[in-house]
Chain A
Amino acid sequence: MERKLSEQSRALLGLNLGSFTYLDSQDAVLHDIQLEVRPGTLTVISGHSGSGKSTLGAILAGLLPRHGMDELAGTIQVGETQIEFSSSSAPRVDVAQWANHVGLLPQDAGHYLSGIRGTVAEELAFSLENAGVPRELMHQRIAELAHRLHLGKLLERHPQQLSGGQERLVALAALAMSEPEVLVLDEPLAGLDEQAKTVVSEMINLLRANGTALVVLVDSVGIWARDATELWQLSQGTLHSISTEELLQPSGQPARRRPVDADARVLLNMDTVQLSYPGSTEPVVRNLHLQVRAGECLGLAGANGSGKTTVLKAIAGLIKPSSGTLNMSGEAGLLLQNSFDQLFERTVLREVSFGIPKKSGLRLRVPHVLAQLGLESFAQTHPYELPASARRLVALATVMIHEPQILLLDEPTEALDEAGEAKLRETIAAVLERGGAVILSTHDERFMERVAHRVHLMK
């Protein structure tokens, strides 16, 4: 992992992009972009959902353009090699060779994991195994990385039993394991708890100190501003330079929450509740006491894997408590952490109407709910074709159409851009205004502070 910082002058990755157009699309998604990535630098590229960040990340990682499908005009330089793309010549890229120089952590970190290995340790070693690295060396490198990232306890776990945050951490570790010169990280801190964020930040500093260059793709620059070598905003398909001073200005309105009436009706009461998954020997949650009143927004905080999602699923009726009592007044609606799990239909309109009888009055509310969440223009679009933020809002619309008395949100800000987050805040306020309650689990402390009346820490 040791690289010489004296190589500062040499660009590890250079992009001179005239235009990039997806197959079957008339308009270029990206155009006129020049970017150079040098050893040990941190390049932060911000942009709202759908601005083309993930596309840019995939181009830098050699995953786009797809041979014979998409069209890229421009040049990409990786190490000593320069590759020219034009409408008449589109060389086929060896993705595995490219990944030795530039590695990409996708927005959905789970996609980076192979899904065919039985333990986290094997998942970390996957690239090394395919490269034929001797077993002793793999053990040594895994032990070193696990020590640095505090992953020791996870090494023997099955990768499919990890929480969302743990999965991201493991994917990042697996990416770093093959030691590419440039790491492109798409929303690397999304869904991570404070400890994991600190670990990832420490790891990023360590990688930079060793000469690895990082390109971070984020919705808002936030905490990255202070350490970034270069700050860019991606909008209207091209990069615009932005200054640190501009970003460090305090922004956003202070929290304005209506206080909860002391005599407000109790909507949810959980008393000494214990929750376990079928087949598991240990309960995930023990002795839980929770009470939520009408007009109240409760935040659930805690480390990755502490049982926040399990509690939300129990309130939604997906898991039955193995002991204790859970009393609820009215219906609960749950927004799941992964939007893909919640979308089944071929258009947004059909998606929000899914499960509602044709003669039900709720059908008439569909256009209203879509308008409230700013989705009316996507009514006939396939949910899978939407930008991540809009897709998250569609999943929220499928919950809101039923007007739940208790709105349950699992990591709701994940994948949401600023406009989407504003819509989410409006939705929460509307639920509280009509005498409902909101329970949300999030690692986004800023959002939690803005919307939650109180926070319950899960241990």
Chain B
Amino acid sequence: MPRTIKLHPFTILAIAVAAITMTTAASLWWLSCTVIALCLLIAGWAGHLKKLAVLNGAMLLPTFLSLLLIHGLIARDPSPAIAHWGPLRVTVHGLEVALSLGLRTAVLVVVGLLCGLLIDKHQLLAAIDLSPVPPQLGYLLAATLFLLPQMAEKQRRIGEAQTLRNMGTGTGLAGWFQRMRLRAVPLVLASMQDAQDRAVHLSARGFPATGTRTRLRTVPDSSAQRGIRWAAVICAFLGPVLILVLARMGSH
């Protein structure tokens, strides 16, 4: 059973943004690895380790491979090669560049995905609704966050109905493509129809609110969290500048 983290969604997001910007600016392999390890530890504590590992693997493996291909194998840098096969040559510098860029991307992906797993989307929506941002932002986020789960549920129901008619029951890759083909059009049509049917009742219920709005859901917050958020936002913007200035001063 996954554990829930009782922090304000903005606190998690602010810390995440600060971690990403500062790690990217520092560009130190050990710092990137520490941040990734910390993320994995948090994911393990929250019960999302497997999910995070699978999602990261799916996104980072192709990224690393493409970086390795561009900078490690077919790069034309003049540094000495440690191995070569015909036109392909692996250089130390090429590997360093691929690893450095890969680790920076990995931090962005791991931290971003962890945020997605830790933050309850209803809490995030409530936090936005309760903040002074324009109501349209909450509406846009709600539409984006809930469209996919709703379409997934609709797709499941269409799949059930097609299975009842012995369609889309094939196995393997061919079966998967057949199911996608059969479900795509009804899914789009049903989603459009559903949106049309729902929109008018949403308007009748006053959504999106034009005046003051309130929320039944409470989002836990404290002055300590507000302090952390401010500190994280300052670090996110000034941290990279400071790191770059220090790096430049060090190089002179």
Contacts and interface: CB of A to CB of B under 8 A. Distances in A.
A, B bound: yes
Interface of A: 61-63, 95-96, 98-99, 103-104, 106, 108, 111-112, 114-118, 121-122, 125-135, 138-139, 142, 160, 174, 178, 313, 316-318, 333-334, 336, 338, 340-344, 354-355, 384, 398-399, 402
SS of B interface (majority) = helix
Contact of B205 (A99, A134, A142, A333): A99
A204 to B, nearest CB: 20
Contact of B215 (A114, A135, A142, A160): A135
A387 B101 CA distance: 59
Contacts of A384: 189, 193
A355 B212 CA distance: 52
B213 A341 contact: no
Contacts of B145: 116
Contacts of A125: 216
Nearest to B205: A127
B208 to A, nearest CB: 8
A316 B193 CA distance: 27
Contacts of A103: 204
A318 B164 contact: yes
Contacts of B197: 106, 108, 111
Interface in B201-241: 201-209, 211-218
20 contacts: A61-B204, A63-B200, A96-B205, A106-B201, A111-B201, A125-B216, A129-B214, A130-B205, A130-B208, A132-B212, A135-B215, A138-B216, A317-B163, A341-B158, A341-B160, A343-B186, A344-B182, A344-B185, A384-B193, A402-B165
Nearest to A356: B165
Contact of A129 (B158, B186, B209): B209
Interface string B134-163: 000000001001100010010001101111
Nearest to A111: B197
Contacts of A122: 122, 216-217
A241 B158 CA distance: 42
Contacts of A355: 162, 165-167
Contacts of B190: 340
Most chain-A CB neighbours within 10 Å: which of B120, B198, B216?
B216
Contact of B164 (A63, A178, A333): A333
B204 A129 contact: no
B125 interface: yes
A118 to B, nearest CB: 4
A114 B205 contact: yes
A126 B208 CA distance: 11
Contacts, number: 124
B150 to A, nearest CB: 6
Given A108-B197, A129-B215, 10 more contacts: A104-B204, A111-B197, A112-B201, A114-B202, A130-B208, A174-B205, A340-B193, A344-B162, A344-B186, A344-B189
A352 B18 CA distance: 57
Nearest to A132: B212
Given A132-B213, A138-B216, A127 B206 contact: yes
Interface in B59-93: none
Given A132-B211, A135-B216, A178-B205, A318 B160 contact: yes
A318 B129 CA distance: 40
B214 A138 contact: yes
Most chain-A CB neighbours within 10 Å: which of B198, B208, B218?
B198
Given A61-B204, A132-B212, A135-B215, A116 B164 contact: no
Contact of B217 (A115, A118, A334): A118
A340 B249 CA distance: 67
A130 B213 contact: yes
Contact of B216 (A139, A318, A342): A139
Contact of B204 (A63, A340, A399): A63
B183 to A, nearest CB: 9
B160 A131 contact: no
Contacts of A98: 204
B164 A114 contact: no
Contacts of A318: 160, 163-164
A344 B158 CA distance: 8
B6 to A, nearest CB: 16
A115 B216 contact: no
A444 to B, nearest CB: 23
A316 B164 contact: yes
B201 A116 contact: no
A63 B205 CA distance: 12
Contacts of B200: 63, 95
A417 B115 CA distance: 51
A121 B167 CA distance: 39
Contacts of B165: 354-355, 398, 402
Nearest to A334: B164
Nearest to A408: B164
